[in-house]
Amino acid sequence: MARKTEITLPRVDDRLRSVGIIMDGNGRWAKKRLLPRSAGHIAGAKIVERVLEDFKAMGVHHITLYAFSTENWKRPKEEVDGLMALLYKYLDEVVAPKILRDGDFSVRFLGDKSVLSEKLRNKCIEIENMLTDAPFVCNIAFNYGGRDEIVHAVNEALKEGCSPITEEDIRRHLYTAGSPDPDLIIRTGGDFRVSNFLIWQGAYSEYYVTETLWPDFDREEIIKAYDAFYSRKRRFGGLDPEDSGNQN
Ligand code: FPP
């Protein structure tokens, strides 16, 4: 039997340029092993690079990871502090060396950085500035909320004097400005919820939910998500070209 890492990854076409991931289930993964929740987050961070590499190999150019939501501040202080420290360590020890070594990913942070510690904020800015025109883009949604993003964008449009505000005015001021909307949003951990993730950009995304917990998200899972995406017919509110001549 082929080892999981030997599973060949399929190539995508223009229909699948951008993927968003709600990385849920770290806590349950840890609980199943009688470990603290922090161990689940550490295990979750460990697989991020491999997942990015796999999507890159498939030809997906934009990946958006939901790492910390505006609602996650409600978690116990110990867990919040742990997630902040984990992100810093990950950026410092994995992301920065990877950008220097491979030069393949530009990293952008979606969300309000102003409330992060100065040390973490500066690290995020340093990472963003390391490479701005790489062929692949990884967006890390951190202190991110879709509603917050829309309010922020509307306020920016008002400051510009837009009246009335158009969809394009809002789009221009989203944290994701310039990136394509996600074609596919994957949620691990089995819940059928949007959780305030890319609520503007995901208006016509295809959703794929798997029971698999984030730290266990492997190549087989990526291929299942790929197969699910390509089995869907995306109509964006219109009609399938095959049916458009049929008035009945
Ligand atoms: C949700 O699982 C996950 C999070 C709130 C944090 C996600 C963070 C990581 C995967 C690691 C850091 C990320 C990067 C980009 C380095 P949960 O804790 O809500 O799980 P549960 O539903 O099982 O409790």
Q: Is 26 a catalytic residue?
A: no
pLDDT of residue 239: 75
Task: Tell the residue number behind the tokens 């939901």, with chain if given.
Answer: 66
66 CA: nearest ligand 1 atom: 7
Domains and CATH numbers, the chain: 18-145+182-230 (3.40.1180.10)
Ligand 1 lining (C-beta closer than 6 Å): 23-28, 41, 44-45, 48, 65, 67, 72, 83, 86-87, 90, 140, 189, 214
Q: Which two tokens stand for residue 153?
A: 């964008």
The single residue listed with the structure tokens 């208006």 is 203
Q: Residues 21-32, buried b or exposed e (16+ Cβ, 10 A)?
A: bbbbbbbbbbee
Q: What is the pTM of this model?
A: 0.93
DSSP 104: -
Distances (CA, A) of 173 to 75, 156, 242: 29, 7, 36
Q: What is the pLDDT of residue 29?
A: 98
N- to C-terminal Cα separation, the chain: 50
pLDDT of amino acid 2: 54
In what helix (H) or strand (E) does residue 127 lie, and over which residues does it extend?
helix 118-130
Output the pLDDT for position 244. Answer: 61
Whether 24 is catalytic: yes
Shortest-distance atom of ligand 1 to CA 90: 16
Q: Using an 8 Å Cβ cutoff, are 35 and 20 in contact?
A: no
Q: In angstroms, rounded to a whole number, what is the distance separating the alpha carbons of residues 172 and 183?
A: 19
Amino acid at residue number 98: K
Q: pLDDT tens, position by position, for the chain (248 residues)? A: 555 557 899 999 999 999 999 999 999 999 999 999 999 999 999 999 999 999 999 999 999 999 999 999 999 999 999 999 999 999 999 999 999 999 999 999 999 999 999 999 999 999 999 999 999 999 999 999 999 999 999 999 999 999 999 999 999 999 999 999 999 999 999 999 999 999 999 999 999 999 999 999 999 999 999 999 999 986 777 777 676 655 54
Nearest CA to ligand 1 atom 24: 27
- CA-nearest residue for atom 12, ligand 1, is 45
